[in-house]
Chains A and B, each alone.
Chain A
Amino acid sequence: GQNIDQPTEMTATEGAIVQINCTYQTSGFNGLFWYQQHAGEAPTFLSYNVLDGLEEKGRFSSFLSRSKGYSYLLLKELQMKDSASYLCAVGDSNYQLIWGAGTKLIIKP
């Protein structure tokens, strides 16, 4: 079957760095996406990786290793507004997005 695994919840301190991991097993691979979803709001796009390596975008970076079926989202200089759920999604061989259940990130002062 197809499966996306990510931790249910993580806690970090304002100003620190946090890494949210995502492992996947899918039929085929057509890109990996990270979305941010604040409570009661719509998910918003953060990053897209299709090749191995690190993609950096401001305070957020996303890493992909296709051979390991692994990605992480790295958030630096954490701010209180980064408290949200972070969703990992993978495009499978049918070009459908398979979603993880999301990681709830709690930022403490």
Chain B
Amino acid sequence: ETGVTQTPRHLVMGMTNKKSLKCEQHLGHNAMYWYKQSAKKPLELMFVYSLEERVENNSVPSRFSPECPNSSHLFLHLHTLQPEDSALYLCASSQGELGSSNYNEQFFGPGTRLTVL
């Protein structure tokens, strides 16, 4: 596989469930991102990992918990979500962070469409 992959592509969960989203990048990049995309709203940056260390949190609710075990994999653990958390969750990767000399554009995965009942 090439590029950035995400699983599952669709997820329906209840407010009491625990689930995890997975992202994998095959580009050799060292920065990975989680974004939330709601209809007709700007992309919201949730988390940034650079060289497997979290560098940005953006005051995301604690019911979202990221995990980056290595530079190729990124997880978003979900628990006790609310209906307003229903959205498209996009993962992206880049070589370097924005502002670093080796930064290049972000490559996005296809997203996980999450519905919270």
Q: Which residues of A contact B (CB under 8 A)?
A: 4, 8, 30-31, 33, 41-45, 48, 87, 89, 91, 95-102
Q: Decide: B42 and A42 in contact? CB cutoff 8 A.
A: no
A45 to B107, CA, bound (A): 7
Which of the four size classes fits the interface of chain B? Answer: 20 to 34
A91 to B105, CA, bound (A): 11
Which residues of chain A are within 8 angstroms of B108 by Cβ–Cβ distance?
A: 42-44
A8 to B40, CA, bound (A): 8
Which residues of chain B are within 8 angstroms of A41 by Cβ–Cβ distance?
A: 110
Q: Decide: B99 and A95 in contact? CB cutoff 8 A.
A: yes
Knowing A43-B90, A91-B99, A95-B97, the reply to whether A101 touches B106 (Cβ < 8 A) is no
* Chain A nearest Cβ from B56, distance in angstroms: 7
Which residues of chain B are within 8 angstroms of A30 by Cβ–Cβ distance?
A: 98-99
Which residues of chain A are within 8 angstroms of B40 by Cβ–Cβ distance?
A: 8, 101
Q: Decide: A97 and B45 in contact? CB cutoff 8 A.
A: yes
Which residues of chain B are within 8 angstroms of A44 by Cβ–Cβ distance?
A: 108
A42 to B42, CA, bound (A): 14
A16 to B48, CA, bound (A): 39
* Chain B nearest Cβ from A35, distance in angstroms: 8
Q: Give the residue of B42, B56, B109 whose beta carbon is less than 8 angstroms from that of A101.
A: B42
Which residues of chain B are within 8 angstroms of A89 by Cβ–Cβ distance?
A: 43
* Chain A nearest Cβ from B68, distance in angstroms: 18
Q: Give the residue of A33, A45, A96, A102 whose beta carbon is less than 8 angstroms from that of B56.
A: A96
A97 to B110, CA, bound (A): 19
* Chain B nearest Cβ from A105, distance in angstroms: 15
